[in-house]
Structure 1
Amino acid sequence: MKSAAASVAALFACLSPLAAQEVTITSAQGGLSVTGRIVSYDGQYMRVESDYGPLTVDYTTVQCSGAACPDPAKYVPRLRISGEARATEILLPALLDGFARQADLTAQQIVTDDMLSGIMLLDAQNAPVLDVPVLPSNSAEAFADLVTFRADAALSFREILDVENQRAADVGLADLRGLGHAFILGIDALVPIVSPLNPQRRIDPGLLDAAFTGDVTVWPDGTPLSLHLGPELDGQADAFLASLPGDAAFLTRHGDAAALSAAVAEDVGALGVTALSETGVAQAVSLVDTCGLVSAPRISSIKTQDYPLTTPLFLTLAQQRQPQIVLDFLSYLRSPEAHLIIRRAGLVDLGVVPIPLDGQGGRLAHAITIAGVDTPLTELQRMVQLMHARARSSLTFRFDVGTATLDPVSNANLLTLAHDIRAGLYDGRDILLIGFSDGEGPALANLELSGERATRVRDRLLDVLGDDLPETVQIDTAAFGEALPIGCDDTARGRQANRRVEVWIGD
C-alpha cells in the first residue's frame, strides 16, 4: 500500500495544475455555447476565460464538455497561491497548519525535489477539504500569475501597481485594491544600514531619499556614497524604490539580505536599506528629520505606520467569491493564534493594541514647541482633554496620495474595527476618530480637510457595519488639522505620515 503522504501527493498532483485545458460550456437549452479555460470553480459557480471575455456561470445550469470539466461529486476547493518565497515557504505553511489545527483538520505539506509545491488540508478520514498549490516567485510574477489566471492569490510585500491593476481590469478582474480583494497579513519595517565604521547613527529621511535618487552623492564628511539594496524584483526593495520622490540612482543589488548586510559592513561609504530583522553585521541607523522628530521602528509605530518605512505583506485575491473554507481561513487570519504565528515569522501582526497618552509625550511636546498663531495653545489644550479620557488604538487610517481612497492597510483596519465592534469589544465605549493634516496650505483649509477625512472614515465604517452597530457604541469625529505632526512637511514621506485619522477609544 502507498503511504498516506504518497497518496496525498498523488492526489495533489492530480488536483493542482496551474494551467487548465479548454472546456466548452453549453446552456441548458443549447442555444449558447462558449469555449474557454477554467479560471475558478467554487462548487457552484465556474468562471471561464473565453474569446468573448470572462464568463461566470452557475455550473448546475449548464453542460460542460472537455477533460478539465470539474466533477461536483469530487470537488475539492482550491486556492492557488503565488508570491514572495519568504511568505510562501515559511509563513503560509505555518498559518495553514494553525488553521487546520483549530478546525480539527490536518495540514499535509507536499514537497517535490526539496521544494514545497503545496499544502493539502485533510479531514479526519484523510479526505481533502482544501487544495493549496504554492508557487514561490516574487511580487511582480505573483501579480502576473493573477492576470494570466495561473494563481488565485498573490503574496507580496508591495501593493499592486497601477499598470498591473489595469492589466487585471483588461482581463475582466475587479479592482484588486478594493475591499474583499486585498488583505494584510502583517507588516515589516525597513531600516537604513551603514558600515559599523561609519560614524553616522542617524539619518534624515529627506537625505535618505536624496541619496537614493542621486541628489546627494557624499556623506557630510565628504566620503563618497555607495548605494545597496536586496535582490532584483524583491518586493520590499521594490516598495522602497516606489516610495522615492524620483527615479533611483545607480545602486548595487545583492542576491539576499546576508550578502547585502556583508557588503554594506565592509564599505565605510555604503548606505543600504533592508528588513528590520535582517540587518546582520551592518549597523542600523535611526530616522531623525530636520524637525527633530525621531522615527523608530517600534511595534506600535509599525502597526500605526507612523514609522515611514513600512512594507505590509499583502494577500491579494483575484476573486471575491470564494469557497466557505477559504473564507474561514481569511477570518482565522484575524485571530490571536494567527497573530502569534505572524509574529514568530518576524512580522508585526495587525492585532489592535492601545497606546496610552503617557507614551506619546514626544510628539505632544513637539506640537507645543511649534504651536503658533495657526495652532493656539487653547486648541492644543482642547485636543489633550479629548485624548486624556481615552487611549489611542493602533488602528490608523491614511489615504492614497491625492485621493479620498483609503490605502490598503487602512481598508484592512476598517474591516478589523468593524469586526471588533460586531464582536462586542467596544460595547459601552465611545470611539473618537480624530483627523489630522499636513502643514501645506492654509491652516483653516487643512483643519476642514482633516475633519472631512475623519467623517469619511466614519461613513465608510458605518457602511461596512450596516445594521450591526450596537446601540451602546458611539462613534464621533474631531479634527485638529496640522496641530500634531509626526513628520516634517518638507518631504513627501513626512506629509503622508501627517495626513491621517487616528482612533481613540474611551473607557
Structure 2
Amino acid sequence: MHKRRAAIIAALFCLIWAGSVGAQDVALRSRDGAIELVGTLLGFDGEFYRLQTQYGELTVDGSGVTCDGPGCPSLTDYVAELSVSGSATAGSVLMPALIEGFARRNGLTAERAATDPTHFTYALMQTDTGRLVGRFGFRVTNTDEGFADLLADEADIVMALREIRPAEVRLARDAGLGNLLEANRSRVLALDAMVPVVAGANPVQSISLPQLARIAAGKLTNWRELGGPDAPVILHLRDPRSGLAQGFEDRVLRPARFSLREDVVRHASNAALSEAVARDPFGIGIASFSELGNTRPLVLSGDCGFALRGTRRNVKTEDYPLTAPMFLYLPARRLPALAREFLTYVRSAPAQIVIRRAGFVDQAVEEVPLDLQGDRIANAISVAEGAEGLHELQRMISTLAPMRRLTTSFRFETGSARLDAQSRSNVLQLAQALEDGDYDARHLVFVGFSDGDGPAATNLSIAARRAETVRNAVLLAAETADTARLDLRTEAFGEAMPMACDETDWGRQVNRRVEVWVR
C-alpha cells in the first residue's frame, strides 16, 4: 500500500498549463481506489489534469486516475487547442506550409478558415474518420503584437523575427511564463536575412554597413556619395512594429549610436516593400531574403575589399552579417501532445524541405568542400602578413583540405562569451545529430577563428578556448550520444581566415566564430 501510494504521489508534479477549462470541482481517483484527490479543475491537455487542491496546485497523469464530476473532460473526444501569434513573415506562408506538411505526414486533413485578414484557424482532422483532433489558431500581425498576446495570455507561442528584448523578458517572468532566455524556451524555425536592395537600373553595386547606417540616420543623403547619380537617397522600411524593421535598427543603427531618420517610407508587408523599391529609381530598402521580388540586392562590402553576398549558404552559415533567425518563443507551460508533435516535426528533415520551398533558408546541415570556398581562401591570402602569417595559412589549408565544412557555425553575442541565438539553436541541432548517430565513426573538428584586433598569439589562444567551449556545450547537450563512437576534436587558426573587415564592430563579430569541419 505504501509503495503504491508513493508511486501515485510521485506522479503529481507541478507544471504550467497551456490552456484552461471552466473551473469546476472534480474528484480524481487512482485506478485501485486507494487515493482520491478533490479540488478545482484548472486545466486538461489531453494527458494531464491540473488541479487546485488543499495541497496546492497539482498536475496528475490522466492515465493513472479516473475523473468524477460535471467538469470532467472527455478523454476520447479531446481536441488539442493551440494559439499562435506574431510575425506576418512567419505566419503568412511558412507556418501554414509546415502545418499542412505535418498533417500529411500524420494521416490528418488540415482545413483552413479565415475570420479576417489577420486571423485564421487550421482544423486538423483524422483523414479516415473525420474526427477533429486539433485546432490551431493564428493571429498574424508583427513581433511586438505576438509578445503582447503572450503576456495577455492570448497566445501559446510567439512567432518573432527578432530576439526577445530585456523588457519583454522581465514582463514574461513577472507573468509566470518562465525565463524566455533559456534554451528550451525558444527555437529557430528557419532563417531569413535583412538585405539592402535597390531598383534594377540603379548603378550602385555594393554598400558597407557603416554607409547603410548613415543612410538610415539621414547622414548620407545623396547617391553621388556611393558612386551613383546626383539624386536623393529614399529609404524604404517595414512598419515600425515589424521584427524586420526592429532587427535592422538593433543590428545596424544602435551599434553606430544613430537614430532613425524621420522621412522613412514605411510598408505593411515584405512584398509591398520590394514592389515599391523596384519602382523607385532612387530608393533603397531593407528587404526580407524570402521576398526580394524584382529588386537587386546590394553586396555588403568593406574598406579592406572583402565582399559578402546574401546567398542561401552565407545566410545558413551566418557568414552574412544581417542573418535574421525566425524564432518561436514558448512559455514554461505544458502544450497538448499534438502541439508538441508539431514542434518536433518542424525540426525534422521533411520540414526543412517545406521551409526551402516556402522561400526561406532551412537548417538542414550541408557539407561544403574547401574548393567551393574560394572567396574565403582569397580573403585569407590577402591578409596574411609576413612569414608567420604565411605559415599559419599553410597550416590551415593542409589541415582543412581533406575535410568539409558543415554549414553549422557558432558565433557569440557582441562583447560576450555567450553564444548568439542562432548558435544556441545550432548546439541543440548538432547534439541531436550526434545522438542520432549521424556522425558515428567520422571525425568532427571544432575550429576556432578570431578577429585581427590584438596580438596574433593572443587571438589564437582565444580562438582555441572558444572552440573548446562550443565542443563542450554540444557534448553536454548530446546526453544520449555514444561518445565511444565519436571523434570530436578542436583546432584553432586565430585570425587566419577573416570573413569581413576588422574596422567595424560587426566585422569583428563576424570573424569571431567556431566552425565545424568533418571527415
Coarse TM-score class (shorter-chain normalised): 0.7 to 0.9
Secondary structure of 1:106's aligned partner: strand
Secondary structure of 1:150's aligned partner: coil
Q: How far apart, in 1, do the equivalents of 2:203 and 2:222 lie?
A: 14
Aligned to 1:500: 513
Alpha-carbon deviation of 1:42?
A: 5.7
Paired AA for residue 246 in structure 2: D
Q: Is the 8 A contact 2:26 2:70 kept in 1?
A: no
Q: 1:139 aligns with which of 138, 143, 150?
A: 143
Q: How far apart, in 2, do the equivalents of 1:47 and 1:293 lie?
A: 61
Paired AA for residue 181 in structure 2: R
Aligned to 1:406: 419
Q: How far apart, in 1, do the equivalents of 2:394 and 2:57 lie?
A: 59
Cα RMSD of the aligned pairs, angstroms, is: 3.2
Aligned to 1:206: 210
Q: 2:120 aligns with which of 101, 117, 120?
A: 117
Please identify, of 403-412 and 110-119, the stretch whose mean Cα deviation from structure 2 is larger: 110-119
Secondary structure of 2:129's aligned partner: coil
TM-score, structure 1 length as denominator? 0.85
- Pairs within 5 Å for 1:372-383: 372=385, 376-383=389-396
Q: Is the 8 A contact 1:180 1:320 kept in 2?
A: no
Give per-residue Cα distances to partners, 1:134-181, cap 9 Å, x unaligned. Answer: 122211111122222211111121121121112111112222233222
Distance 1:42 1:206, change over 3 A: farther
Aligned to 1:80: 83
Q: How far apart, in 2, do the equivalents of 1:402 and 1:58 lie?
A: 45
Q: How far apart, in 2, do the equivalents of 1:356 and 1:47 lie?
A: 56
Distance 1:64 1:156, change over 3 A: farther
- Is 1:455 equivalent to 2:463 in the alignment? no
Give per-residue Cα distances to partners, 1:77-135, cap 9 Å, x unaligned. Answer: 33211122342232222212211221222223233357752112222322333321212
Q: Is the 8 A contact 2:436 2:481 kept in 1?
A: no
Q: Is the 8 A contact 1:24 1:65 kept in 2?
A: no
- Pairs within 5 Å for 1:7-86: 23=23, 41=45, 43-44=47-48, 46=50, 57-58=59-60, 72=75, 74-86=77-89
Alpha-carbon deviation of 1:185?
A: 1.7
Q: 2:347 aligns with which of 334, 355, 360?
A: 334
Give per-residue Cα distances to partners, 1:421-471, cap 9 Å, x unaligned. Answer: 222221110110011122233333322221121111111111111242342
Give per-residue Cα distances to partners, 1:456-493, cap 9 Å, x unaligned. Answer: 11111111112423422111111122221101122222
Distance 1:31 1:57, change over 3 A: closer
Alpha-carbon deviation of 1:401?
A: 2.0
Q: Is the 8 A contact 1:42 1:322 kept in 2?
A: no
Q: How far apart, in 1, do the equivalents of 2:93 and 2:290 lie?
A: 15
Please identify, of 426-435 and 318-327, the stretch whose mean Cα deviation from structure 2 is larger: 318-327
Secondary structure of 2:515's aligned partner: strand
Aligned to 1:248: 260
Aligned to 2:13: none
Paired AA for residue 83 in structure 1: G
Distance 1:131 1:257, change over 3 A: closer
Q: How far apart, in 1, do the equivalents of 2:276 and 2:103 lie?
A: 42
Q: How far apart, in 1, do the equivalents of 2:455 and 2:26 lie?
A: 63
- Is 1:366 equivalent to 2:379 in the alignment? yes
Secondary structure of 1:180's aligned partner: helix
Alpha-carbon deviation of 1:65?
A: 12
Paired AA for residue 247 in structure 2: A
Q: How far apart, in 2, do the equivalents of 1:47 and 1:397 lie?
A: 43
Aligned to 1:13: none
Q: How far apart, in 1, do the equivalents of 2:47 and 2:154 lie?
A: 19
Aligned to 2:239: 231
Structure 2 stretches of 5 or more lacking a match?
A: 1-17, 29-34
Aligned to 1:346: 359
Paired AA for residue 234 in structure 1: S
Distance 1:212 1:43, change over 3 A: same
Q: Is the 8 A contact 2:317 2:407 kept in 1?
A: yes
Q: How far apart, in 1, do the equivalents of 2:162 and 2:429 lie?
A: 20
Alpha-carbon deviation of 1:262?
A: 4.5
Distance 1:66 1:275, change over 3 A: farther
Paired AA for residue 434 in structure 1: V
Paired AA for residue 47 in structure 2: G
Paired AA for residue 224 in structure 1: P
Q: 1:289 aligns with which of 302, 306, 318?
A: 302
Aligned to 1:92: 95
Alpha-carbon deviation of 1:71?
A: 5.2
Paired AA for residue 168 in structure 1: A
Give per-residue Cα distances to partners, 1:321-374, cap 9 Å, x unaligned. Answer: 434333322222222321111111110110111111001122222212211269
Q: How far apart, in 2, do the equivalents of 1:451 and 1:45 lie?
A: 49
TM-score, structure 2 length as denominator? 0.83
Paired AA for residue 229 in structure 1: L
Aligned to 2:174: 170
Distance 1:63 1:405, change over 3 A: farther
Q: How far apart, in 2, do the equivalents of 1:352 and 1:435 lie?
A: 19
Distance 1:437 1:455, change over 3 A: same
Q: How far apart, in 2, do the equivalents of 1:327 and 1:293 lie?
A: 44
Q: Is the 8 A contact 2:39 2:51 kept in 1?
A: no
Q: How far apart, in 2, do the equivalents of 1:67 and 1:145 lie?
A: 31
Aligned to 2:105: 102
Q: How far apart, in 2, do the equivalents of 1:437 and 1:67 lie?
A: 65
- Is 1:318 equivalent to 2:331 in the alignment? yes
Q: Is the 8 A contact 2:221 2:232 kept in 1?
A: yes
Give per-residue Cα distances to partners, 1:205-259, cap 9 Å, x unaligned. Answer: 2211222133433331553322211223122222112112233222221233344
Secondary structure of 1:121's aligned partner: strand
